[in-house]
Structure 1
Amino acid sequence: MEVETPKLLNDFLIYMTTIKGKSKRTRQEYEYDLSLLMRFLKGVRDGGETSSTQPISIKNVDITFIKEITLEDLYAFLEYCEVARNNSAFARARKVASIKSLFTYLTKKKRLLEYNPADELETPKIGSRNPIYLTLKETHQFLSGIEKNHHYHRNYCMMMFLLNCGLRVSELCSINLSSIQGDKLSVIGKGNKERTIYLNDICLSVLHNYIKEERGLVHNIKDQDALFLSQKGTRLNKRTVQRLVKKINEESHLNKNKLTPHKLRHTAATLIYKQNPDIRGLQYILGHESISTTQIYTHVDSNELRTLVASHPLNQPS
Structure 2
Amino acid sequence: MTDASFATSDTLRAHIAGWQRELSTIRRLAPKTVESYSRDVHQFLVFLSGHIGGPIDVPDLAALRPADLRAFLAARRREDIGSRSLARTLSGLKSLFSYLEREDLVALEALSVVRTPKLARGLPRPLSVLEARAAGPAAIESEDRPWVGARDAAVIALCYGAGLRISEALALTRIDLDGTTLRVRGKGNKIRLVPLIAPVREAVKAYLKLCPFALSATEPMFRGVRGGPLNPRLIQLRLEHLRGVLGLPASATPHTLRHSFATHLLAKGGDLRAIQELLGHASLSTTQIYTHIDSERLLEAYRAAHPRG
TM-score calculated relative to the size of structure 1: 0.58
Distance 1:305 1:242, change over 3 A: same
Q: Do the aligned residues in 2 keep the contact of 1:145 with 1:250 (CA within 8 Å)?
A: no
Q: What is the identity percentage for the equivalent residue pairs of Structure 1 and Structure 2?
A: 25
| Structure with bigger gyration radius | 2
Q: CA deviation at 1:50?
A: 3.3
Q: Do the aligned residues in 1 keep the contact of 2:173 with 2:217 (CA within 8 Å)?
A: no
2:174 corresponds to 1:181: no
Aligned to 1:231: 225
Alignment of 1:139-178 (within 5 A): 139-148=132-141, 149=144, 150=146, 151-178=148-175
List alignment gaps of at least 5 residues for structure 2: 1-11, 28-61, 74-81, 95-108
Q: CA deviation at 1:305?
A: 3.0
- SS of the equivalent of 2:281 reads coil
Aligned to 2:213: 218
Q: Deviations over 1:26-63 (max 9, x none)?
A: xxxxxxxxxxxxxxxxxx9x95543333437xxxxxxx
Q: Do the aligned residues in 1 keep the contact of 2:267 with 2:294 (CA within 8 Å)?
A: no
Coordinate RMSD, CA, aligned: 4.1
Q: CA deviation at 1:120?
A: 5.3
Q: CA deviation at 1:136?
A: 1.0
- SS of the equivalent of 1:161 reads helix
- SS of the equivalent of 2:294 reads coil
CA distance in 2, matches of 1:50, 1:229: 45
Amino acid at match of 2:118: K
Aligned to 2:20: 51
Alignment of 1:91-110 (within 5 A): 92=87
Distance 1:206 1:289, change over 3 A: same
Q: Which moved more, 1:303-312 or 1:137-146?
A: 303-312
Q: Do the aligned residues in 2 keep the contact of 1:132 with 1:263 (CA within 8 Å)?
A: yes
Aligned to 2:124: 131
Amino acid at match of 2:195: Y
Aligned to 1:89: 84
CA distance in 2, matches of 1:226, 1:204: 17
- SS of the equivalent of 1:145 reads helix
Structure with a larger share of its residues in helix:
2
CA distance in 1, matches of 2:85, 2:180: 37
TM-score calculated relative to the size of structure 2: 0.59
Q: Deviations over 1:57-112 (max 9, x none)?
A: xxxxxxxxxxx9x995xx79xx9xxxxxxx9839959x99xx9xxxxxxxxxxxxx
Q: Do the aligned residues in 2 keep the contact of 1:141 with 1:254 (CA within 8 Å)?
A: no
